[in-house]
Amino acid sequence: MDTTENVMVFKDIERVVQENCNNLGRKVLKAVLEDWDANLGRNRDKKMYRHKGKKKTIIKTTIGEIEYERVVYEVWVESVKTGHVFLLDEVMENNGSGYFSELLVEQIIQACNEGSYRKAARAVSEATGQPISHTAIWNVMHAQGKLS
């Protein structure tokens, strides 16, 4: 028996187990986010925030992309419509669709400290199992620079 074959077999098993754990983690996080959104909706000021349906979004995380739905609300102040808001996004302090989790941003910053945007993109893509371009890495780093 060749020991190299055994290592490759274990490596493949490890990869499958990791992907299954990530799949389970994504399902759990989706349920947590949607439950959190539902709780925010139940406890909102119903005169100020009018439920206008749900919209899908994606968050990139350390375990992959999570697609979930959250409620959009029409905002009314003194009987005047002032716009729309996602209460979950406000609580999470995230803006827009397709944003990055705070933990993933920390990994991106660490990867950038160790090399170029291209190397960071490759490292983060390999670690998370999702494609992340060097341009996305650049955007995250510049957004973080504006927050500092």
* pLDDT tens column, 102-144: 899 889 999 998 888 999 999 888 888 888 899 989 988 888 8
Please check whether residues 86 and 121 belong to one and the same domain.
no
The per-residue pLDDT of the chain, averaged, comes to: 88
- Per the DSSP assignment, residues forming a β-bridge with 122 are none
Q: Which domain, by its residues, includes 37?
A: 1-100
User: Dihedral of the CA atoms 127, 137, 60, 38 (nearest 10)?
Assistant: 150
Task: Tell me if 72 sits within 8 A of 84, measured CB to CB.
Answer: yes
**pLDDT tens digits, residue range 123-133?**
888 888 888 89
Please check whether residues 93 and 31 belong to one and the same domain.
yes
**Domain boundary pick from 63, 85, 100:** 100
How many structural domains is the chain composed of? 2
CA atoms within 13 A on the CB side of 98: 6
| CA-closest candidate to residue 52, choices 68, 72, 70, 36 | 72
Please check whether residues 84 and 121 belong to one and the same domain.
no
CA atoms within 13 A on the CB side of 71: 20
Q: Is the dihedral of CA 59, 60, 61, 65 positive or negative?
A: positive
Please check whether residues 33 and 105 belong to one and the same domain.
no
pTM: 0.81
Please check whether residues 51 and 89 belong to one and the same domain.
yes
